[in-house]
Amino acid sequence: MMALDIQNGLALIGGELRASARLVIEDGKLVAVEDVTAQPADQVIDLKGGWLLPGFVDTQVNGGGGVLFNDQPSAAGVAAIAAAHAQFGTTALMPTLISDSVEAVAAALDAVDDAIAQGVAGVVGVHIEGPFINPARKGIHSEERLRLLDDATIALLTAKRRGVVMLTLAPELASAEQIAALAAAGVVLSAGHTNASYEQALHGFDHGITGVTHLFNAMTPLQHRAPGVVGAALDRDDVFCGLIVDGVHVAPAAVRLACRVKGADRLMLVTDAMPGVGNGGQPFMLDGRPIYVRDGKCTDAAGTLAGSGLDMASALRNTLAMTGLPVAQVSAMASATPAAYLGLAEHMGRLAVGQAADFVVLDAEMAVQQTWIGGTCRYSAASE
């Protein structure tokens, strides 16, 4: 058991901001929150006017630290990605496979299983983004990789796994029975890279799709006579929406509108991060094509967006700056809401008794100083 005193800043604990608190941690969980007393704690965190927030939960992480998950679908590759994102306050993530072969999908599922079995900190499941998407909205995904769902791939995706399995698919290219079968088996479904109409999107939501991958991007837009996937996602109060707030993927006005319509309990910040995150923004290869990183923007030679150079701490700062929302609300978008979407709300996403002791220490400018996962400090800026 460890007693950790938090002082001289603001800590978001149990959904409330506190100027000080003693966190009692045992077996990786927060077991009590007490007032600071004269009795010495095991450790003191001086926030120096900064913040302590629940650790960030990122449902879409293609890579980091120079590693692309597609290229290194192994426990070692997953560990490198997780370590890179821990520098930016991410305490739980879903390594994300960009559309690839069925064999690659199997390798990705096994890699995350292996990583969780080996105790790699911060890995809670795997996100398979395609290849069951619409070529008309493929974005950077290679068209030759795309395919339709079949019984064999559904069996692969629904096999028992150690972590959460999330799948992005185009709802118009899957039957209601296929969507329902995946959802019934516990696969977390998201509509993305889709050319669906408003009605087709609603049909998908009615049969088990609960989220939308990077709202606004790679989907039918909101038009006044054809609301599209964007309109369907905004119209349904029960649908979660991922949002890439990097100033490139979505305009600030659209970010503000999405926040007003969906609210903090259904809008979740995602990075869609590529290998340059935690690697100084170095260029990388994707399906044999060079991807260039300029000012955090990842594109191929033709200018097509290829993920992002965003990290979760930057997403938090950007959202605060663009919306003017309170820190507690934006923090929820980065932590509690994605945890709820993944079905992990009982275990993580809020710094509360009974939950994982996952939190991030930020300075007054919201730059990450420490990242704690399961009661262990996994990153400290002071040690760099």
Please write the tens of the pLDDT for every residue from 124-178. 999 999 999 999 999 999 999 999 999 999 999 999 999 999 999 999 999 999 9
* Same domain, residue pair 156 and 45: no
- Measured CA to CA, the distance from residue 214 to residue 208 in angstroms comes to 18
163 belongs to an annotated ligand binding site: no
Residue 130 in domain: yes
CATH number at residue 372: 2.30.40.10
* Same domain, residue pair 337 and 366: no
Residue 92 in domain: yes
306 belongs to an annotated ligand binding site: yes
225 belongs to an annotated ligand binding site: yes
The mean per-residue pLDDT over the stretch 337-344 comes to 98
pLDDT at residue 288, as a whole number: 87
Residue 203 in domain: yes
* Same domain, residue pair 204 and 328: yes
62 belongs to an annotated ligand binding site: no
Residue 204 in domain: yes
CATH number at residue 135: 3.20.20.140
pLDDT at 384 over 80: no
Is 272 catalytic? The answer is yes
* Same domain, residue pair 374 and 291: no
pLDDT at residue 251, as a whole number: 98
Percent share of the chain, pLDDT over 90: 92
Residue 346 in domain: no
* Same domain, residue pair 279 and 253: yes
249 belongs to an annotated ligand binding site: yes
- Measured CA to CA, the distance from residue 92 to residue 83 in angstroms comes to 11
User: Quick one: how far is CA 260 from the chain centroid?
Assistant: 20
* Same domain, residue pair 294 and 372: no
Residue 274 in domain: yes
* Same domain, residue pair 43 and 79: no
Residue 37 in domain: yes
257 belongs to an annotated ligand binding site: no
Residue 179 in domain: yes
* Same domain, residue pair 49 and 68: no
* Same domain, residue pair 121 and 80: yes
140 belongs to an annotated ligand binding site: yes
CB 58 within 8 A of CB 94: yes
pLDDT at 245 over 90: yes
Dump pLDDT digits (tens) for 167-218: 999 999 999 999 999 999 999 999 999 999 999 999 999 999 999 999 999 9
pLDDT at residue 282, as a whole number: 87
From 58, 100, 272, 311, the catalytic residue: 272
* Same domain, residue pair 157 and 194: yes
81 belongs to an annotated ligand binding site: no
Structural domain of 46: 2-53+351-383
* Same domain, residue pair 143 and 256: yes
CA atoms within 13 A on the CB side of 36: 16
pLDDT at 337 over 90: yes
Give, rounded to a whole angstrom, the gap between the first and last alpha carbons of the chain: 28
* Same domain, residue pair 293 and 355: no
147 belongs to an annotated ligand binding site: no
């599209």: which residue's tokens?
A: 228
**How many structural domains does the chain have?**
2
pLDDT at residue 95, as a whole number: 98
pLDDT at 3 over 90: yes
